Amino acid sequence: MSYARETAPLPQGKITAILVLTTLMWGGSFLFNKIGMREIPPVQFFFFRFALAALLMGIVCIPRLGRLNRQIVRRGAVVGIALAAVNLSFVLGVSGTTISRAGYLNNLFVIFIPLLSFFFWRERVDRVTSGGVLLAVAGLWFLASGGAEGFNRGDVLSTVCALFIAVHIIAVSRVLRDEDVYLVTLVQFATVACVGAVISLALPWPAFRVGAAGGWSLAYCAIFPTVICFTLQNTFQRYTTPTRAGLIYTLDPVWSMLAGVFILGERLTSREFSGCMLILAAVAGPLAVRLYLEQKQRSLYRLGAAGEAAEEGE
């Protein structure tokens, strides 16, 4: 048995801090998507963001392009299609609801992953996850009954986005092997940009003008939660446990809610706030329990190893 702490190139505290930073940048994307889409329609924003991200990632990958092969292109395209579904539903969801609600609904992907694994591969759903599902359902009910519009179209699309996030995570874990993560990321971004181009050309192109707010929002979303976040997560997440990383990522909706309340002036009713907190508990609770069990198992492993060493010393 091996542990991330023992193989990490940096102290675990620094790795945690880097992953927390990625949640801050991703939480900021809710805010900047909302601001940017005041000037740029959602589908066009989606296309421009990933076209710019693919261009920037292509520049980063120039020294690696000689290693690009059919396998990387094929597998990167598969997960790229899933990523396109994630981000298309994301922009459409955020454009139709508050970023406070969207952030918590997107985080339901943690619940969807074990459910999809059960339905498609019959992987067992433990009691802790089942409890999380029940809390999530309660949270959705509070959200649906708490807002002025109920559970609106944007909320539905934000929930669908969470489902696609789960699909993308499963696709990455089952499709990708030992490929160059930078090249795979480049192919993913290029695939998303191509999907965005096709959709943009298939639909009527609305008239719009990109001002300073839209331009800066687009630049932020392309650079920070896309190129930088993917690079940091691909580089450092592998040096911690999935449970610890998942628990850190539950900070995403906290940042989006704070941005919504203090910058956009969004206000949640008591029922909406209760729904968000129930969804947070549904996501973070099972992860916290698993982290506790992991740490307990780690302690037992170390005690056993120390006992074996002592016996060998005798």
pLDDT, tens digit (0-9, with 9 covering 90-100), for 254-275 = 999 999 999 999 999 999 999 9
* Three-class HEC string of 81-125: HHHHHHHHHHHHHHCCCCHHHHHHHHCCHHHHHHHHHHHHHCCCC
Whether residue 192 contacts residue 86, with contact meaning beta carbons closer than 8 Å, is answered with no
**Residue for token pair 């092997």:** 177
Q: How confident is the model at residue 172 (pLDDT cuts 50, 70, 90)?
A: confident
Question: What tokens appear for 98 in the block?
Answer: 């508050």
Whether residue 187 contacts residue 80, with contact meaning beta carbons closer than 8 Å, is answered with yes
Residue 183 has pLDDT above 90, yes or no: yes
Whether residue 77 contacts residue 86, with contact meaning beta carbons closer than 8 Å, is answered with no
Q: How confident is the model at residue 2 (pLDDT cuts 50, 70, 90)?
A: very low
**Residue for token pair 């993308």:** 168
CA distance 294 to 298: 6
Taking Cα atoms as reference points, which of 224, 275, 204, 265 lies closest to residue 34?
265
Residue 305 has pLDDT above 80, yes or no: no
Residue 122 has pLDDT above 90, yes or no: no
Distances from the Cα of 312 to the Cα of 2, 9, 16, 179, 298, angstroms: 21, 30, 36, 42, 21
Residue 123 has pLDDT above 70, yes or no: yes
What is the residue-averaged pLDDT of the chain? 90
**How far is CA 218 from its chain centroid?**
18
CA distance 168 to 301: 33
Which DSSP letter does residue 179 get?
Answer: -
Res 3: pLDDT: 44
Residue 48 has pLDDT above 60, yes or no: yes
What is the residue type of 158? S
Provide the whole-model pTM. 0.89
What is the residue type of 53? A
What is the radius of gyration, based on Cα positions, of the chain? Answer: 21
Average pLDDT over residues 105-125: 91
Residues 6+ apart with CB under 8 A from 153: 96, 97
Res 313: pLDDT: 61
Residues 6+ apart with CB under 8 A from 268: 98, 100, 101, 146, 257, 261, 276
- % the chain with pLDDT above 90: 69
Q: How confident is the model at residue 307 (pLDDT cuts 50, 70, 90)?
A: low
CA dihedral (102, 171, 231, 72) in degrees, to 10, reads -140
pLDDT, tens digit (0-9, with 9 covering 90-100), for 184-227 = 999 999 999 999 999 999 999 999 999 999 999 999 999 999 99
Total count of residues recorded for the chain:
314
